[in-house]
Amino acid sequence: MIRKLVRQMLTAQILSALTVSLCLLIDNIMISRYLGETAMAAYGLSNPILLAIGAIGTLLAAGIQMACSKSLGRGSQEETNAGYSSAIALAGSISLGFTVVVLLFASPLATVMGAGTEGALFEQTRDYLIGFSAGAPGSMGALVLVPFLQMAGQSNLLIAAVLTMTVADVVLDLLNVLVWHGGMLGMGLASAISYYAAMIVAAFYFVSKRCVFRFSRRLVTKEKIRELFTGGVPAGFNMAASVILVFILNRILQGVGGETAVAAYTVVMALGNAANCITTGIGGVSLTLAGVLYNEEDRSGLRELISYLVRCSLVLGLAMGAVLVALAPTFVSVFVPQGGPVSEMAVLGLRLFAAGLIPCCINNALKNMYQATGRVRLTEIISMAEGAIFPALAGFVFSRLLGTQGAWLFFACGEALTLLSICLGVFGHTRELPWRKDACLLLDSSFGVGETDLLEAQLHSMEEVAGFVKVAEQFCLDRGQSAKGSNHIALCIEEMAGNTILHGFKADGKPHHLSVRVLHKPGTWVLRFRDDCRAFDPVHYVPEGDEDGLGIRLVRAMATEARYTYSLNMNNLTLTLPEVL
């Protein structure tokens, strides 16, 4: 079931990783092709301010994934709604404030960015800032709502929103340069409108009765806002490392290749950031699912998740790398004419960049897993090493040995050094090779339950349910549970799993999955049921007047605690029963 979840989430995560950068990339291409060098310079000067709102949105999105994966793992819907309510309120306040500040102080900001106080460069920088800032609420909203769409299992709607944004931006940019002649103000407004178009598509779910999240002003608290920011701190380290790396590499490339090398680096990073959507997507899946599994104390699930994400990293990294190597001249020609020195450098740089995609994907899977499992300091160290220290060191050393060509090894060598450091760190901590057992997870020996106290199965038919019920009853007896208590546990499994097979599996004629786990802890037993059928809450809704309703009420009476959430397109039910000796 974990593999199915990864496949469902990964495509949408990869596309959502392009949410902010895609509009900027499209604007970059359109401006370079149609509005000339001065407009390109104005766009470049505007970028730090434009990326600031994206940086805050990215930080909040990471905090949402971290905070809500915990609440979902604990089965607390109200806590998840608190995260949703606080995130919406915070994102709205920050983005509206950003828009007001930029609109009021667009001219001073353009001057501070280096555009001067008058002339074409100043006017175009100011105009683009005004146009783009009008879409700040849409830009941040798109980033903040992405994790919630993922948790609700609305991957198709997320893809539709991203595609709507992309098509709208391309069409409006073309209309601006070919029909309206609105200049840089029109380019900024085109991006702003495209963000709102994506928001409208996403809103169809959030305002519907099907939405599993509920906004409440009562749930907006300082504590939850603080948790969102704290959970996003590692993402802040990533952003800080990126800024440092750009500054250092600009200096290195300027020293060995002059302005031509710096221009080529701009093209390489524009295309490289787009290609890195696969690494960001894998990291996002790792953060969300690892958080849920960790809070369920599911050691075997975490092991399966990381193992499958590493395989996805190999496949996606190799595929994307092959595309970059084969089509590098074509991609670069979109930005600069072919045959010139900038084009030649950028083609080589992009091809060498491709070599770092596989280790980068693996690093993101591990790094975000460590964040989800509470090793925040380790995540911050990895982020700074991967994002700045190792690539800057590689760029400096190889540029001294091989000149400009050596400098392009910064990304591949930086990622390889990061992965090697993680492997050495795991070995030093566990004295096990990272790929042996679950050494790379760095979990304490006390985490979860031992294999002797865990029973789990994937069930697909009533015959399999009946067989598992017998195995589970004997499993409980062998661990000291009384015959009566073992029978109660067996009845709970038979009732809940049987209802899922009989009603959930046959409701739509599609293939479905049911995962059942039985955990023995000191003084208690925990049963967890997870299926991908239509949403059904047996904790708060019980059918009246039939055997199914009677069975569910009986199960609830036997359980000391029952928790239900619907997330990631899954029904998640956890029952706690007392140990009876």
Task: Write out pLDDT tens, residues 5-16.
Answer: 788 778 777 776
544 falls in which pLDDT band (50, 70, 90)?
low
Q: Which long-range contacts (CB under 8 A, 24 or more apart) does 493-496 make?
A: 493/465, 493/468, 493/469, 493/518, 493/527, 494/465, 494/466, 494/469, 495/551, 495/552, 495/554, 495/555, 496/527, 496/529, 496/538, 496/552, 496/555, 496/573, 496/575
Task: Write out pLDDT tens, residues 272-296.
Answer: 888 888 998 898 888 878 887 887 7
Task: Write out pLDDT tens, residues 309-359.
Answer: 999 999 999 999 999 999 999 988 887 778 788 888 889 999 999 999 999
Task: Collapse the DSSP code of 458 into the 3-class scheme (helix H, G, I; strand E, B; otherwise coil) and give the result.
Answer: strand
The DSSP symbol for 134 reads T
For the chain, give the mean pLDDT.
83
Domains, the chain, ordered by start: 9-231 (no CATH), 234-448 (no CATH), 451-578 (3.30.565.10)
Task: Write out pLDDT tens, residues 204-258.
Answer: 888 888 787 888 888 888 888 887 877 777 776 776 677 677 778 777 877 887 7
Predicted pLDDT at 338: 80
Q: Which two tokens stand for residue 549?
A: 């309703």
Separation between Cα atoms, residue 248 and residue 151, nearest integer Å: 38
Separation between Cα atoms, residue 304 and residue 480, nearest integer Å: 30
Q: Which of 147-151, 206-210, 410-414 has the highest mean pLDDT?
A: 410-414
One DSSP character per residue, 542-580 reads --SSSHHHHHHHHHHHH-SEEEEEEETTEEEEEEEEE--
Give the lowest-confidence range in 172-176, 487-491, 502-506.
502-506
Of 442, 276, 469, 313, nearest to 369 by C-alpha is 442
20 falls in which pLDDT band (50, 70, 90)?
low
Beta bridge partners of 1: none
Mean pLDDT of 477-505: 88
Predicted pLDDT at 56: 78
80 against 366, higher pLDDT: 366
Predicted pLDDT at 23: 64
Under a CB-based contact definition with an 8 Å cutoff, are residues 382 and 422 in contact? yes
